Amino acid sequence: MKALNMVLTGVGGQGLITLAATIGRAAVLEGTHVLIAETHGLSQRGGSVEVYVRLGEVNSPLVPPGGADIIASLEIIETLRNLRFAGLSTTIMTDERLIRPNIPGISVPEVEEALKQLRSTGLRVMLIPAYRLAEKAGSIIAANMALLGGMLASGLLEGYITRSSVEKVISEMPARWREVNLKALDLGYAHVEALLGRR
């Protein structure tokens, strides 16, 4: 099975490691090989986070610049920062939420400017309002699952993991987050289905 390379990005605390581990457990359920490289330690403290997920025939954990099939992001500045991983056929799935880096006196672009810049690249971009969808599902903590729902609906994960195995993994999570996560996954899925004109 050809390798599928993903870069998941955002800010420490947004649930990217949980997102990656959910994909990983679903892959194990499907019998798909997977390697996930995470950033720990200092980077957890509100810094940039990049998680690399590789599915299929892979023996090493990192994604090369230009080698990502999917860049999935919960924060728009981090989306732009990680465009180096984009190749000609990369799909970018991102929330448009912008979180100000905590540096005194730093100048931060407007969301509109960031979106304009992103679109100017000519890459395939799908905006997923993961935070808004998660809030609707019951808690912004589930924004990662809304993003995952969108990724599943895009069809890019087909042959690697299925929605039902992801739901099975979520159903093993602590009870208080199960419902909201499943709901967020569903809303993210429906959002991208609508984007693709399937709903």
Partner 1 sequence: MPSRILGRPGEKVLLLGNEAIARGAVEAGLGWASAYPGTPSTEIVETLHSVSKDLGIHVEWSVNEKVALEAAYAAAISGVRSLAAMKHVGVNVAADPLMSSAYTGVEESLVVVSADDPGMWSSQNEQDNRWYGLHAFIPVFEPYSPAEAKDLTRDAFEFSSRMHHPVILRSTTRLSHTRGPVTLREAKPPVAKGSFKKNVQRWTVIPAHARRLRVELLERWGRIEEEVEKLPYNRLEKHSGGQAIIASGIAYGYVVDALNYLSLRDTVSVLKLSTTVPIPRKLVLDVLSSHESVLVVEELEPVVETWVKRIAYEEKLNTTIRGKDLVNRIGELTLETVTRAVAGFTGAEYPWKPAEAEITLPIPPRPPTLCPGCPHRALFYALKRAVNRSRVKAIYSGDIGCYSLGVMPPFEMQDALIEMGGSIGMANGFAHVDEDKMPVAIIGDSTFFHAGVPGLINAVYNKSPMLVVVLDNRVTAMTGHQPHPGTGFYATGEPAPMVKIEDVARGVGVKHVATIDPFNLKDSEKKLMDAIRYVAEEKKPAVVVARRACTLLIDAAARRRGITEPLYIVDQDKCTGCGICYNAFSCPAIIPLKNGKAEIDPALCTGCGVCAEICPFNAIRLARKGDPEWEKLWF
Q: Please tell me whether residue 38 binds partner 1 under the rule CB under 8 A.
A: yes
Q: Please tell me whether residue 119 binds partner 1 under the rule CB under 8 A.
A: no
Q: How far is residue 149's CA from residue 166's CA, in Å, rounded to a whole number?
A: 9
Nearest distance in Å: CB 111, partner 1: 12
Burial of 74 (0-12, 13-18, 19+ CB in 10 A): buried
Q: Please tell me whether residue 143 binds partner 1 under the rule CB under 8 A.
A: no
Q: How far is residue 40's CA from residue 191's CA, in Å, rounded to a whole number?
A: 31
45 vs 197, beta carbon nearer partner 1: 45
Quick one: which segment of 108-116, 150-158, 159-167, 190-198 binds partner 1 (CB under 8 A)?
108-116
> How many C-beta atoms surround the C-beta of residue 24 within 10 A?
18
Using CB under 8 A, pick the residue from 6, 8, 16, 90 that binds partner 1.
90
32 vs 186, beta carbon nearer partner 1: 32
Q: How far is residue 74's CA from residue 99's CA, in Å, rounded to a whole number?
A: 10
89 vs 197, beta carbon nearer partner 1: 89
Q: How far is CA 70 from CA 55, 94, 108, 150, in A?
A: 12, 10, 25, 12
Q: Which of residues 144-183 bind partner 1 (CB under 8 A)?
A: none
Half-sphere exposure of residue 28: CA atoms within 13 angstroms, side-chain side: 9
Which positions lie near partner 1, rule CB under 8 A?
3, 11-12, 20-21, 24-25, 27-28, 33-48, 57-67, 77-78, 80-81, 83-88, 90, 100-109, 113-114, 117, 120-123, 140
